[in-house]
Every structure is written in structure tokens, then in C-alpha cells.
């Protein structure tokens, strides 16, 4: 199905953004992965968490769709990905603090833009993103099998995930995000989904990853950023396919 899309927000607190964008550019161009702790600070982080908990208890989350229909409903789908999700554009009046988080991440990505190499001696031109996906793994062993976010050039170049889980203990609670970066030979990135941590990684085949079974409710907010050229190509291909299928049906 189509990915929900939102316009980028504008700039805020400059020095902080400048520092974070330098770290992101350096780590992404070197490792393809960038994790930073204490992103919003405890107060703002707690306000974001409270807004997510309120939405969850209001029953606004739905079972995460599968891109391919093979999952179908019920157990097989849950075996592939057990998360429940809801989409936000960040302007909702019920969650101003999620809106603040989104504008912070937008500001970092906009500042890092044109400095993020696309791995082929070129740069990405990031000009948009999906809506924010708020995800909850309910903690009944729910997991997400190893996958690539953007295996077929749908335009997404950077995945940004903000974690909200206080006192998370991976030994007991599971829910580790394990990334298998292509260029890292046999070593992997083990990312614990801890409170107020933000993570960036290339969305394409360079970063297969899995969410290991979670035994405690696990929350995260994900944004996917588009590269202008790849997105344009993807939209053109989609238009062609639609025309073809319509001509076949007529
Ligand atoms: C067509 O509609 C949709 C709607 C939502 C979709 C969500 C995902 C997705 C992808 N990756 C992860 C992940 O890797 N999480 C890592 C972590 O939480 O640490 C995740 O939780 C969710 C994929 C495809 C989707 C298609
Ligand atoms: Mn993923």
C-alpha cells in the first residue's frame, strides 16, 4: 500500500541541530548507522512517551500491515511482524510533543542534507518524508523478522527511529534491534530500544535488520526520509504500472 507522506517542518534551536547533524553525517557516511542517546532530554522525552501511551490506551493502534499479502491475517502475519501502529503527521493538537520530536529530526536531516552520501560517490537530496509511524510491540514475544525497509527503490533513503522504553533490560525484555550492515562483514549492530535514544540508518539493502522477540510492551516512533530522485523515479514507475494494469483490465 502507499506510504503516508508529510511535508518537512522548519528549523528550531540552531546549535543543537548543528551538532547533531555533524554526528549524523559522520556516522552515516562511515558506518551507515548512527545512534545518539538523551536526544530530547528526560522532560521532553517523558512528554512524548505520555502522548504515545495516551494514544495506545485510546485504542488508536492497528496491527501493522504486511507489504506483501503472503502474511494475510492472524498468526502468520504476527509471526512475521507483531507490531501495532498508527500514523501521525505531527500537527495533531493531542500530541504537540511528538510534533516537537518530528521537527527536531526534520531539522537535523535538513541540515545534514546534501552531505549524506548515497554510497555511489553522490549525495542524497532529501525533500520529504513519510508521516511518523508510532509502533508498539505488545510484548507477547512479538517480533519483526529480518527485513530491509526499502528493498526496491521506493524512494526512502534514511530510517529514523526514536525509542521510548524506560529501564529496558534486553536480557529479560528482549526487543533488541539487530542490524546486519552490508559493509561490516560478520559483525552486527545491536541497538537496545532505550528511552530517549534516536537511531538513523540507510533504509536500503545495506541494512537488513530484525526486531528480536519482545516480552514487554515496546514503543518506537519511526520516520522515513525520501531522496528526491529515487522518489520521483518510484512515482513514475508506479504511474506506468497503474496505466499498464488499467489497459490490461479494459
Ligand atoms: C504498507 O503499509 C505499511 C505500514 C507500516 C509498515 C511498517 C514497517 C516497519 C518496518 N520496520 C520496522 C522496524 O524495523 N522496526 C525496528 C525497531 O522498532 O527497532 C517496523 O517496526 C515497522 C514496514 C512496512 C510497513 C508498511
Ligand atoms: Mn525495519
In this predicted model, what pLDDT tens digit does every residue of 112-134 receive, in sequence order? 998 999 988 889 999 999 999 99
Per-residue pLDDT tens for 173-222? Answer: 999 999 999 989 999 999 999 999 999 999 999 999 999 999 999 999 99
Strands 156-163 and 126-130: unpaired
How many whole angstroms from 94 Cα to the centroid of ligand 2? 27
What's this model's pTM, rounded to 2 decimal places? Answer: 0.92
Which residues lie with the beta carbon below 6 Å from any ligand 1 atom? 1, 64-65, 67, 83, 85, 133, 135, 144, 149, 161, 177, 193, 209, 211, 220
Q: Is the pLDDT of residue 64 over 80?
A: no
Instruction: Give me 140's grid cell.
Output: 507477547
Distances (CA, A) of 88 to 52, 108, 109: 11, 19, 18
String of DSSP letters for 121-132:
SSB--EEEEEPE
Helix, strand, coil shares of the chain, percent, nearest 5, are: 35, 30, 35
Question: How far is Cα 170 from Cα 147, in angstroms, rounded to an integer?
Answer: 21
Exposed, middle or buried by CB within 10 Å (0-12, 13-18, 19+), for 157? buried
Residue 10 has pLDDT above 70, yes or no: no
**For the chain, percent of residues with pLDDT exceeding 90:** 78
Give the number of whichever ligand sits closest to the CA of residue 203: 2
Is 6 or 198 the better-scoring residue by pLDDT? 198
Q: Is ipTM > 0.90 here?
A: yes
Amino acid at each position: 500500500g502507499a506510504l503516508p507522506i508529510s511535508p518537512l517542518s522548519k528549523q528550531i534551536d540552531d546549535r543543537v541541530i548543528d551538532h547533531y547533524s555533524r554526528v549524523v553525517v559522520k556516522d552515516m557516511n562511515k558506518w551507515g548507522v548512527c545512534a545518539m542517546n538523551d536526544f530530547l532530554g528526560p522532560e521532553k522525552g517523558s512528554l512524548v512517551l505520555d502522548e504515545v501511551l495516551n494514544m495506545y490506551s485510546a485504542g488508536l493502534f492497528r496491527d501493522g500491515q504486511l507489504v506483501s499479502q503472503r502474511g494475510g491475517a492472524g498468526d502468520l502475519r504476527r509471526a512475521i511482524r507483531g507490531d501495532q501502529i498508527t500514523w501521525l503527521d505531527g500537527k495533531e493538537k493531542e500530541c504537540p510533543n511528538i510534533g516537537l520530536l518530528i521537527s527536531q529530526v526534520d531539522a537535523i536531516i535538513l541540515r545534514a542534507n546534501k552531505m549524506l552520501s548515497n554510497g555511489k560517490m553522490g549525495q542524497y537530496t532529501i525533500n520529504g518524508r513519510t508521516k511518523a509511524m508510532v509502533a508498539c510491540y505488545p510484548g507477547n514475544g512479538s517480533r519483526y523478522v529480518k527485513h530491509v525497509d526499502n528493498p526496491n527503490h521506493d524512494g526512502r533513503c534514511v530510517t529514523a527511529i526514536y525509542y521510548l522504553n524506560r529501564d529496558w533490560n534486553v536480557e529479560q525484555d528482549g526487543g533488541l534491534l539487530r542490524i546486519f550492515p552490508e559493509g561490516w562483514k560478520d559483525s552486527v549492530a545491536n541497538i537496545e530500544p532505550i528511552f530517549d535514544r534516536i537511531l538513523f540508518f540507510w533504509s536500503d539493502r545495506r541494512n537488513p535488520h530484525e526486531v528480536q522477540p519482545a516480552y514487554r510492551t515496546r514503543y518506537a516512533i519511526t520516520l522515513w526520509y525520501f531522496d528526491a530522485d529515487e522518489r520521483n523515479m518510484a512515482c513514475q514507475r508506479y504511474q506506468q504500472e497503474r496505466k499498464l494494469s488499467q489497459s490490461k483490465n479494459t
